[in-house]
């Protein structure tokens, strides 16, 4: 039995004991993750520094704080979320108890990505635990130090049978994917997303795919360019652009291009000094493969700022590319690096047309003073999320679903959405064995007379709802009498 197979079998066996279903046990596990973050902050931060040159403060702000917030939220709301959810009834079921019961799916496979390896692996795990599942956790092998800390230390805090951590690269992930799970939660590229979905299809396993793509950013002429560019620069160059929702490219009219460049340059200097390479708040590219991939994208474009790089240190300076063409290399795939291409368009119409010609993005950004522009972008495009006059911050709002649409992903999570995503919403209808007379209407022989009554009660059920419960009981009694009479005669 391979290591991966053993982990899946262990998680399945642990799930079958039923212990993951107890609400107290779920809360205990979530609190243990909180304790892990508090007690192991140093190990977490050291690993992040080695993987992505991230400072401890950055790690806390961008990785663990959000996880801690979600733990707070889930532990305070779990009883409410897990409780039966009463639903509206129709006339035929008015006397029954009808509700949705969220229940665990079983064993979830969580495949994490390297750019925010703690947040993107632990957040789905919180959802899986909250919903009462077991989970096999597969951290990204690319953020190698973090994966090691996760494998070595996390099992010291949570139930290691229910939530095993399995490290490994593509072969190990593919071995895991051969086994049957009850849900697969994948974060990573669209290309690998297709591999995941294909593997899941063999077992009819549902998937959540948190993917990427090119997130456009339209800057309107009617805009405070200084503030807009500051926010865009923050969204673009945080984590060296290695963020799934970072603004991938800018669309703006030619008349404001120079000013956009000047303002983004100013923001770069304010944030990362004249020499970002020595600035503790500026990151590094994860590895040389990605360094080469990003640098190859610059070819054929005009550099308006930045461009300095050092392969041995995986350093690429915050870079702006100007007058980029749709056929330029940098416009073909998601950049996932610190390059900000600017493509000029004649105005909003052309920007919308360009956005719609491409795959639906994970995030779409618009900067303007004009509400009509925001409205038009909202109504005439589609994306996982739409933000006006800011970048990235929707990720931190637990009451918003986080996820893509089309090629940027399927399914969503955060807050209650994570709980719902990783639960089965079981439809429950509990009837008593009395009032059989009413039911006789649906039994053969099916007559036109019965059809008439069925039409009346089903199609008029909305009006019936307004009558109130007592009146309905009377109606049902009359109906039972009529049906019985029909049966007798």
* Residue with smaller CB distance to ligand NAD, 173 or 319: 173
Q: Which of 70, 161, 210, 334 is catalytic?
A: 210
Closest distance between ligand NAD and the C-beta of residue 269, in Å?
27
Cα 60 versus chain centre, distance: 20
170 near ligand NAD (CB under 6 A)? yes
Whether residue 311 contacts residue 300, with contact meaning beta carbons closer than 8 Å, is answered with no
Report how many residues bind ligand NAD under the rule CB under 6 A.
Answer: 28
332 near ligand NAD (CB under 6 A)? no
* Residue with smaller CB distance to ligand NAD, 12 or 290: 290
Reduce the DSSP state of residue 348 to 3 states and report it.
Answer: helix
Reduce the DSSP state of residue 42 to 3 states and report it.
Answer: helix
Distance CA 135, CA 186 (A): 13
Q: Please, what is the Cα angle at 307 between 302 and 309, to 5 degrees?
A: 150
210 in catalytic set: yes
* Residue with smaller CB distance to ligand NAD, 28 or 195: 195
Question: What are the residues facing 409 on neighbouring strands?
Answer: 210
Q: Which of 287, 274, 313 is nearest to 114 (CA)?
A: 287
185 near ligand NAD (CB under 6 A)? no
Contacts of 471 (CB under 8 A, 6+ apart): none
451 near ligand NAD (CB under 6 A)? no
In this chain, which stretch among 205-213, 255-263, 266-274, 309-317 interacts with ligand NAD, using CB under 6 A?
205-213
Q: Which of residues 140-169 bind ligand NAD (CB under 6 A)?
A: 140-142, 169
Distance CA 425, CA 481 (A): 36
Closest distance between ligand NAD and the C-beta of residue 207, in Å?
13
Q: Which of 217, 223, 240, 244 is catalytic?
A: 244
Residues 390-429 vs ligand NAD: string with x where CB under 6 A?
A: --------------x----x--------------------
In this chain, which stretch among 12-20, 26-34, 99-107, 133-141 interacts with ligand NAD, using CB under 6 A?
133-141
229 in catalytic set: no
CB neighbourhood size of 442 (10 A): 12
Length of the chain: 489
In this chain, which stretch among 106-114, 300-308, 315-323, 478-486 interacts with ligand NAD, using CB under 6 A?
106-114
120 near ligand NAD (CB under 6 A)? yes
Directed axis angle between helix 448-459 and helix 469-488, to 10°?
Answer: 170
Q: How far is CA 229 from CA 200, 241, 340, 365, in A?
A: 42, 15, 11, 12
Contacts of 481 (CB under 8 A, 6+ apart): 437
114 near ligand NAD (CB under 6 A)? yes
121 near ligand NAD (CB under 6 A)? no
Residues 461-480 vs ligand NAD: string with x where CB under 6 A?
A: --------------------
How is residue 88 written in tokens?
A: 């509206």
Whether residue 354 contacts residue 251, with contact meaning beta carbons closer than 8 Å, is answered with yes
Q: Which of residues 254-293 bind ligand NAD (CB under 6 A)?
A: none
Whether residue 82 contacts residue 102, with contact meaning beta carbons closer than 8 Å, is answered with yes
Closest distance between ligand NAD and the C-beta of residue 292, in Å?
14
Distance CA 484, CA 489 (A): 9
- Residues known to be catalytic: 210, 244
Q: Applying CB under 6 A, which residues contact ligand NAD?
A: 111-115, 120, 138, 140-142, 169-170, 173-174, 187-189, 192, 195, 210-212, 244, 334, 336, 362, 404, 409
């Amino acid at each position: 039995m391979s290591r991966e197979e053993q982990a899946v079998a262990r998680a399945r066996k642990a799930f079958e004991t039923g212990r993951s279903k107890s609400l107290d046990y779920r809360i205990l596990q979530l609190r243990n993750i909180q304790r892990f973050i508090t007690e192991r902050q140093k190990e977490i931060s050291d690993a992040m520094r080695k993987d992505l040159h991230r400072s401890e403060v950055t790690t806390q702000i961008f990785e663990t704080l959000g996880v801690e917030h979600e733990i707070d939220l889930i532990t305070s709301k779990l009883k409410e979320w897990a409780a039966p959810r009463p639903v509206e009834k129709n006339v035929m079921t008015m006397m029954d108890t009808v509700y949705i019961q969220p229940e665990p799916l079983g064993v979830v496979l969580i495949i994490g990505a390297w750019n925010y390896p703690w947040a993107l692996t632990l957040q789905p795990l919180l959802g899986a635990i909250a919903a009462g599942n077991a989970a096999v956790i597969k951290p990204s092998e690319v953020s190698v130090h973090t994966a090691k800390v996760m494998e070595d230390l996390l099992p010291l805090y949570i139930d290691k049978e229910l939530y095993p951590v399995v490290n490994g690269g593509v072969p190990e992930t593919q071995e895991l994917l051969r086994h049957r799970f009850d849900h697969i939660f994948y974060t990573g590229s669209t290309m690998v997303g297709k591999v995941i979905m294909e593997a899941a299809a063999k077992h009819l396993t549902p998937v959540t795919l948190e993917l990427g793509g090119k997130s456009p950013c339209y800057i309107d002429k009617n805009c405070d360019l200084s503030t807009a560019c500051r926010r865009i620069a923050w969204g673009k160059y945080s984590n060296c652009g290695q963020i799934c929702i970072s603004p991938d490219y800018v669309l703006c009219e030619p008349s404001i291009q120079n000013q956009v460049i000047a303002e983004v340059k100013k923001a770069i200097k304010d944030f990362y000094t004249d020499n970002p390479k020595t600035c503790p708040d500026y990151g590094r590219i994860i590895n040389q493969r990605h360094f080469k991939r990003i640098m190859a994208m610059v070819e054929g474009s005009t550099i308006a700022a930045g461009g300095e790089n050092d392969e041995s240190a995986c350093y690429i300076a915050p870079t702006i590319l100007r007058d980029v063409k749709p056929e330029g290399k940098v416009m073909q795939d998601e950049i996932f690096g610190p390059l900000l291409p600017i493509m000029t368009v004649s105005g909003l119409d052309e920007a919308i047309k360009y956005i719609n010609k491409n795959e639906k993005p994970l995030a779409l950004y618009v900067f303007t003073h004009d509400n009509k522009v925001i409205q038009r972008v909202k109504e005439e495009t589609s994306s996982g999320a739409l933000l006006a006059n800011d970048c990235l911050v929707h990720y931190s709002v637990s009451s918003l679903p986080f996820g893509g649409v089309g090629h940027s992903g399927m399914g969503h999570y955060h807050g209650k959405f994570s709980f719902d995503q990783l639960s089965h919403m079981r439809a429950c209808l509990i009837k008593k064995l009395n009032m059989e007379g009413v039911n006789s209407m649906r039994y053969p022989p099916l007559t036109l007379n019965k059809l008439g009554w069925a039409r009346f009660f089903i199609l008029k059920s909305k009006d019936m709802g307004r009558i109130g419960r007592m009146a309905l009981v009377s109606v049902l009694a009359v109906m039972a009498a009529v049906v019985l009479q029909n049966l007798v005669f």
